[in-house]
Structure 1
Amino acid sequence: MEVFVYQPTSDQLRLSDEPVRQLNVDTCVHAIGASAGVTSIPFAILVNRSAGSFRFFGLARLKAAMRRAGLGQEVPLVFCTGSELHDRALELVHRGVQTLGVLGGDGSARTVALALRGLDVPILPLPGGTLNRLCHRVHGHADLGRTLRGLASAKPVWLSGGLANEHVFLVASGFGPWMAFHTMRETIRRHGLWAGLGALKTLRHDLFAGKLRLSANSQACDIVIAAPGRVDEAFGLGAKEIDFPETRLETGQARLSGLGKLLWLAMAVLFRRWRKLSFTETQISERMSVSCGGDEIIGLVDGEKLQFGDHLVLRALPRAALVLSTKRS
């Protein structure tokens, strides 16, 4: 694990992007406490260095956004991998961090938020992933600089979520054979395009079999998406209204039956017209179940691929995570 203490100065504006100091966690916390004259750290940023956009832009984008936001105080930047996020978050909070920024994707912020649940320490989701859907839900946008500039006026709010069996999600969960495309995406990220295309061979043959059924209507469908609030947030396009106190799940389902309808659905999603399609349907409920004709249900929970057996229960979860929102009321 690497920890940088970043403090923008006039000299740093003219020099290269090298960090001011490289320290271990204990030294970092003690140094800040001594310089600020306090025993706690107001704000630190936990960076998942394996997240999508951070791997592309690196540290320069984050430091530039911090500089433009006028963050004159010393802000610890703690770098770790996705598997280390849980432990690093608890470690920082136990050393006095009062608010923890998380630069990464939806899964990164979800991991940290759940790790700190019950500790009354809000997280500030920062866009560092591919879709950054949680940032859209919390802030109304996914602009890193804009989020940091709004830090001074940000307010802590309780974010509602959902449960897919025992797994918590804050943005959305999707179910059905189509979720197996996540395997192809991850293969492309790790091994390149050609290896990812080769992963298509592992996809199941029942993509259009219509085996999924919801308890609400028992209609056959090929894909089910559940989200606290609005399903639109699951597509990474944001939503006009963000209702934090929402304690119900909206579930969208589609019976694709062929490649043509799949392409039509994709276009309708981009133009926000998918709700008007004849082969899509939505329900709002606090609880519903999903079955797959006795087959294994494949799902993505905030981007994390999971298997749920042959039966799945979806439930609303109030006060799922404490977040710091820069969205204006």
Structure 2
Amino acid sequence: MDAKTPCWLVVNPASGSNTVDSAESLKAALEQRGWEVARTLVFPDDGLPDPRELGAQGIAQVVIYTGDGSMGALINHLSGWSGSVLALPGGTMNLLPLRLHRSLDIEAILDVVAGGGAVARRLGCVRCDAGLALAGLLVGPGTAWSRVRESMRHFAVADIASETIAAIRETASGPYVTLPERSAARAEGYPLVELTPGEHGIQIDGYFAEAPGEFAEQAWALLRRRFREGPHDRLGLADAITLQSVDGGPLACLIDGEPAECPSPFRFTLEYCGVDLLATAHDC
């Protein structure tokens, strides 16, 4: 990414760690490193950059500093555009920035990119009925814990209690998710299946709990975004995988952390992102 080239900056002050002050600080940090920030869009009030307008104004780079939902919307909106996108962690979970940059903070990411150390990548993603997951997709009744996490983020004490009770009930009683194409998968299914896109395909992991205490442990791990610590089955890689709920009902999903729903059964497939993303990590 040429830091001398004009760029547009997209921010969302309502996202996670993103605020009006932090957005201004980011703009200053970009300009200090040689970027010319030709325009700042505040999403959702200003909408998303139009690829035709970007082309007409000679803009070949967009810097996005938002949460995962806004980030996914922008990247999907720019599919087919010939420019590149620099995604910076401005939300709560920051799933895509973690995939692109690992543990680097914003200052370090900008230093690497401005120094010519970033590469443009069309990342493998997971396509489902509800959209394109850029960083990962969770499927199953265990996704109910995301509602608890959201209530905690907004300090909604009354909602935390009711959502926790509902999440415990949903996670424990299903409907679980089965994988008919994987003989190593548990026949009774899983409360949570993770589909992680990567260089070699979609990695498939099924998470389970065999005792009431393990459900509590999984819940705590999910709330801390560290559910991978819990008991799980590694079910290999695939370019496509079919999941289905044991009762035939819709599949509850989290697409890059955003709630969604897919019909059951549904075949999730590997699909490549439609726009160049700048990466500073070697294994994204």
Structure-1-length-normalised TM-score = 0.70
Correspondence for 2:192: 223
Equivalent residues of 2:80, 2:274 under 8 A apart: no
Q: Distance in 2 between matches of 1:295 and 1:272?
A: 26
Query: What residue number does 1:303 align with?
Result: 257
Query: Any idea what SS the aligned residue of 1:207 has?
Result: helix
**Higher relative contact order, chain-length normalized (CA < 8 Å, sep 6+):** 2
The answer as to 2:226 corresponding to 1:261 is no
Tell me, yes or no, if the aligned pair for 2:63 and 2:85 is still in contact at 8 Å: yes
The verdict on how the C-alpha distance between 1:95 and 1:190 changes in structure 2, with shifts beyond 3 A counting, is farther
3-state secondary structure, aligned to 1:136: helix
Partner of 1:171: 135
Q: Deviations over 1:176-230 (max 9, x none)?
A: 112122223334445633333333355473412352101223522111010112x
2:237 paired residue among 284, 305, 317? 284
Q: Deviations over 1:226-251 (max 9, x none)?
A: 0112xxxxxxxxxxxxxxxx251001
Structure 2 unmatched runs, 5+: none
8 A contact 1:160–1:320 mirrored in 2: no
* 2:163 matched residue in structure 1: 199
What are the within-5 Å matches in structure 2 for residues 19-58 of structure 1? 42-55=6-19, 58=22
CA distance in 2, matches of 1:262, 1:204: 8
Moved more, 117-126 or 197-206: 197-206
The 1:58–1:198 alpha-carbon spacing in structure 2 relative to 1, beyond 3 Å, is farther
- 1:121-200 correspondence to structure 2 within 5 Å: 121-152=83-114, 153=116, 154-165=118-129, 167-190=131-154, 192-200=156-164
8 Å CA contact 1:161, 1:320 repeated in 2? no
Alpha-carbon distance in 2 for matches of 1:212, 1:101:
37
Q: Distance in 1 between matches of 2:39 and 2:216?
A: 42
1:323 to 249, 274, 277: 277
> Is there any run of 5+ residues in structure 1 with no aligned partner, and where?
1-35, 230-245
State the secondary structure of the residue aligned to 1:52: coil
Other structure's SS at 1:295 match: coil
Taking only the aligned residue pairs, the percentage that are identical comes to 22
Q: Give the CA deviation at 1:87.
A: 5.0
Residues paired across the two proteins, number: 269
* RMSD after superposition: 3.2
Contact map agreement 2:27 2:37 (CA 8 A) in 1: no
From the superposition, tell whether residues 53 and 292 of structure 1 become closer, same or farther in structure 2 (CA, over 3 Å).
Answer: same
TM-score w.r.t. length of structure 2 = 0.80
**Cα gap change, 1:259/1:76 in structure 2, threshold over 3 Å: closer, same or farther?**
farther
